[in-house]
């Protein structure tokens, strides 16, 4: 009986009420969506454009009755070349406001539109709307920076409603498209129609044209962006074919538990290149990549889930810009900032002239012997030297030499004594925070991770989450600071943070907020005959990158000079001689390098269970040529030593910047293959030899 009553209600009562409403309605308002602002690279290349499309919609009141809905969908299915089932799915899709017109089909042809308009008596309530589809001419290039559009999400619906958005509008959900959504959107218009009782349009009562959105000029050079993505992906594929070192027992023999050959997984990574004088990002690559055109391809949910599968495995996460969201240990690439802390705080007697005798290990002096005998780790060692199979011994080293050969023992000593000799105050933390560690850079991209600095409060917080043992979270120990001093432990940072920190060393102490947008422009920037945007004659609304805030980091010559010399020696040598000659960590890779003079630092971040194939690779560097003020940082996950994985990527980029390596021309991408199951087609260097060093060196 209840079922029969419900059927009677839908067919009788609801239909009569709907008929009364339709009879009273004399007009209908259709919103006109504005053309979204275009996005250009720094040279005027159009990297995000629009295509005018036609959308067939229907007044939901016309199909309120289930029988009317079925009949209408059956009539529309043929002309729209859309299965009835899909029309039903779209009618119930919660992404579309149930109180406004229902979208029947997107991007229909002029012929389809004319067919429906000419037979409006057969399709009452159907209106053909003009809309815009976002176009990304270069496919996957720069997608993590550009972002993509999508339906308004439930958690942000109230915000967009307050701004006057139509619930059915597509908005930026990622990247620049999200950050600059309000500027890019424009102002909608509308058409008010007079309609009859069955929804047929009689005449136009009023029309207000939409105002297009503002254009954006990025700071990125799309040719260098493409090159950075090619270098990153090529190197990750190379590392996947490399065997990781064997796990050795303390006795110097292979661990039988890991007898099988293990290859580096090298699943992901990122590289950032910025102008350290302005804070403008020149290139920002993240891998795995994706093609933003998938979000405008109108593929069904099953296909989308196939291309972008949900996963809890961070190695497989595609829609993550690792340059701003990656949470990484830095390994020895963090040492320049620890050296700064030691010099600036006066921790080292004699400053840059202080000498430490590195015999391969460092024993904590602030921990009583009985506690060491009871299992507290008190002895820390350097990386293993291939020549001896034992911890490397460098002899007497100062700050400059310790950076050049990456002496862990030198920095272990700093890590212990800058804490134990300063009343256990957070001196190291305070000094490295000057370079932006532990805080967001405020780059104009969404979902930036702030990074973490080891301290007692953070340990307690992790213990409360169950991430570390409750006992471990009770206090901040000397051992924590020792690990902190070599970029391990609870330290984490993003590649954009580290690139910016290296840039601060390079420019003499100006910490800037990085920017990926240079200017917001008035709508309607014209194209030149070449197809590039005419930026010279564009009307600028706001110079974004020119107004980015800055902080001054004290870098007097007696502090900065030894740091620069040490980082320069990483690239050029010389190393140190003790027992035998120890090369610097970058000496082999850069042996035949011919680009702009560089200073830099390698780093290897230990991975899960300290297994070599879980180690990640880091390298930061900056130009010493004032005419090419660039800094870069690369991080390749689970790819091995800094000198053999991340550093070659940065080397290739600086060779390209120096005009010493060919950069491929940009060409528009082929049409998106919607039969594909990958988020982005592979991209590789045509000539990968810039990644190669003359002699391999398996240290740091």
687-691 CB contacts, 8 Å cutoff, 24+ apart: 687/661, 687/662, 688/234, 688/238, 690/231, 690/648, 690/651, 690/652, 690/655, 690/656, 690/661, 691/231, 691/234, 691/235, 691/238, 691/648, 691/649, 691/651, 691/652
What pLDDT sits at residue 603? Answer: 97
The continuous run of DSSP H or E covering 460 comes out as helix 456-465
> CA 29, CA 194: separation in Å to the nearest integer?
9
* pLDDT confidence band for 11 (50 / 70 / 90): low
Mean pLDDT of the region 322-348: 97
Is 639 in contact with 239 (CB distance < 8 Å)?
yes
pLDDT in tens, 435-479: 999 999 999 999 999 999 999 999 999 999 998 888 888 899 999
Residue 196 has pLDDT above 80, yes or no: no
- On average, the pLDDT of the chain sits at 91
Q: Which of 62-76, 536-550, 672-686 has the lowest mean pLDDT?
A: 62-76
The number of beta carbons lying within 10 Å of the beta carbon of residue 491 is 26
What pLDDT sits at residue 695? Answer: 43
> CA 614, CA 445: separation in Å to the nearest integer?
29
pLDDT in tens, 354-403: 999 999 999 999 999 889 988 889 999 999 888 888 899 999 999 999 99
Q: Which domain holds residue 48?
A: 2-216
Residue 461 lies in a domain: no
Is 148 in contact with 519 (CB distance < 8 Å)?
no
Is 337 in contact with 498 (CB distance < 8 Å)?
no
What pLDDT sits at residue 694? Answer: 53
Mean pLDDT of the region 201-212: 89
Residue 1 has pLDDT above 50, yes or no: no
Give φ, ψ of 303 to 5 degrees.
-65, -40
Residue 515 lies in a domain: no
Residue 697 has pLDDT above 50, yes or no: no
C-alpha dist (Å) from residue 580 to 359, 387, 572, 576, 587 = 13, 10, 18, 8, 16
Q: What is the CATH number of the domain that holds 95?
A: 3.90.1310.10
What pLDDT sits at residue 252? Answer: 67
Residue 250 lies in a domain: no
Residue 612 lies in a domain: no
Dihedral angle computed from the Cα positions of residues 325, 331, 336 and 340, in that order, rounded to the nearest 10 degrees: 90
Q: Which residues partner with 361 through β-bridges?
A: 381
> CA 29, CA 84: separation in Å to the nearest integer?
27
Residue 380 lies in a domain: no
Q: Which of 36-45, 288-297, 380-389, 562-571 has the lowest mean pLDDT?
A: 380-389
pTM: 0.91
Residue 699 has pLDDT above 90, yes or no: no
What pLDDT sits at residue 125? Answer: 85
Largest interatomic CA distance in the chain: 98
* pLDDT confidence band for 98 (50 / 70 / 90): low
Residue 415 lies in a domain: no
* pLDDT confidence band for 195 (50 / 70 / 90): confident
What pLDDT sits at residue 690? Answer: 96
What pLDDT sits at residue 24? Answer: 44
Is 189 in contact with 207 (CB distance < 8 Å)?
yes
Residue 541 has pLDDT above 90, yes or no: yes
Q: Tell me how many domains the chain contains.
A: 1
Residue 95 has pLDDT above 70, yes or no: no
86-92 CB contacts, 8 Å cutoff, 24+ apart: 91/60, 91/63
pLDDT in tens, 492-529: 999 999 999 999 999 999 999 999 999 999 999 999 99
Q: What beta strand segments (E) does 575-637 contain?
A: 576-578, 580-582, 598-605, 616-623, 630-636
Residue 24 lies in a domain: yes
pLDDT in tens, 253-285: 788 888 788 999 999 999 999 999 999 999 999
pLDDT in tens, 566-624: 999 999 999 999 989 999 999 999 999 999 999 999 999 998 888 999 999 999 999 99
Residue 70 lies in a domain: yes
């Amino acid at each position: 009986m209840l079922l029969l009553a419900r059927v009677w209600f839908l067919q009788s009562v609801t239909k009569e009420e709907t008929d009364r409403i339709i009879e009273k309605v004399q007009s209908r308002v259709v919103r006109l969506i504005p053309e979204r602002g275009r996005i250009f690279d720094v040279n005027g290349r159009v990297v995000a454009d629009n295509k005018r499309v036609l959308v067939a919609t229907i007044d939901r009141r016309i199909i309120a009755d289930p029988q009317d809905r079925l009949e209408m969908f059956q009539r529309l299915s043929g002309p729209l070349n859309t299965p009835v089932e899909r029309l039903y799915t779209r009618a119930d899709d919660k992404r579309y406001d149930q109180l406004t017109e229902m979208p029947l089909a997107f991007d229909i042809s002029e012929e389809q539109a004319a067919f429906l308009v000419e037979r409006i008596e057969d399709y009452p309530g159907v209106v053909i709307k003009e809309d815009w589809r976002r176009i990304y001419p270069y496919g996957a290039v720069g997608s993590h920076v550009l972002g993509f559009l999508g339906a308004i999400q439930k958690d942000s619906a109230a915000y967009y409603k307050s701004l006057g958005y139509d619930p059915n509008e597509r908005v930026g959900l990622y990247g620049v498209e999200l950050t600059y959504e309000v500027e890019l959107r424009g102002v909608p218009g509308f058409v008010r129609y007079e309609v009859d009782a069955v929804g047929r349009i009689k005449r136009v009562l009023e029309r207000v044209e939409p105002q297009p959105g503002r254009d954006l000029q990025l700071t990125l050079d799309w040719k260098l962006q493409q090159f950075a993505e090619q270098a990153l992906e090529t190197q990750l594929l190379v590392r996947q074919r490399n065997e990781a070192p064997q796990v050795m027992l303390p006795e110097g023999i292979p661990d039988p538990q890991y007898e099988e050959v293990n290859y580096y997984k090298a699943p992901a990574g990122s590289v950032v290149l910025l102008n350290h004088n302005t804070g403008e990002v020149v290139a920002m690559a993240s891998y795995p990549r994706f093609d933003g055109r998938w979000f405008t391809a109108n593929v069904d949910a099953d296909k989308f889930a196939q291309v972008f599968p949900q996963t809890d495995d961070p190695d497989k996460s595609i829609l993550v810009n690792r340059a701003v969201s990656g949470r990484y240990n830095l390994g020895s690439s963090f040492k320049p900032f620890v050296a700064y802390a030691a010099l600036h705080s006066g921790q080292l007697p004699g400053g840059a002239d202080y000498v430490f005798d590195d015999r391969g290990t460092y024993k904590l002096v602030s921990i009583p012997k009985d506690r060491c005998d009871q299992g507290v780790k008190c002895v820390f060692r350097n990386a293993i030297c291939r020549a001896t199979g034992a911890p490397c011994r460098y002899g007497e080293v100062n700050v400059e030499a310790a950076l050049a050969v990456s002496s862990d023992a030198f920095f272990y000593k700093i890590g212990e004594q800058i804490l134990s000799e300063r009343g256990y105050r957070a001196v190291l933390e305070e000094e490295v925070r000057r370079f932006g560690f532990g805080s967001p850079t405020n780059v104009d991209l969404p979902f930036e991770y702030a990074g973490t600095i080891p301290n007692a409060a953070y340990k307690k917080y992790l213990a409360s989450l169950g991430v570390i043992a409750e006992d471990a979270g009770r206090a901040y120990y000397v051992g924590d600071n020792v690990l902190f001093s070599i970029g391990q432990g609870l330290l984490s940072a993003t590649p954009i943070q580290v690139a910016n920190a290296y840039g601060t060393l390079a420019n003499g102490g100006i910490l800037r907020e990085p920017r990926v947008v240079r200017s917001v422009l008035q709508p309607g920037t014209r194209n030149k005959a070449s197809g590039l945007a005419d930026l010279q004659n564009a009307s600028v609304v706001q110079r974004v990158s020119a107004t980015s805030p800055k902080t001054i980091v004290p870098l007097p010559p007696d502090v900065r000079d030894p740091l620069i010399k040490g980082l320069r020696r990483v690239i050029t040598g010389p190393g140190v001689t003790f027992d035998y000659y120890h090369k610097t960590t970058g000496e082999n890779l850069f042996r035949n390098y011919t680009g702009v003079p560089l200073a830099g630092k390698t780093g290897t971040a230990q991975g899960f269970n300290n297994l070599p194939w879980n180690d990640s690779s880091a390298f930061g560097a900056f130009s010493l040529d004032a005419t090419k003020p660039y800094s870069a940082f690369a991080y390749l996950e689970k790819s091995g030593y800094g000198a053999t994985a991340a550093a070659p990527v940065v080397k290739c980029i600086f060779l390209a910047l120096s005009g010493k390596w060919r950069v491929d021309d940009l060409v528009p991408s082929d049409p998106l293959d919607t039969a594909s199951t990958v988020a982005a087609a592979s991209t590789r260097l045509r000539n990968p030899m810039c990644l190669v060093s003359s002699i391999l060196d398996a240290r740091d």
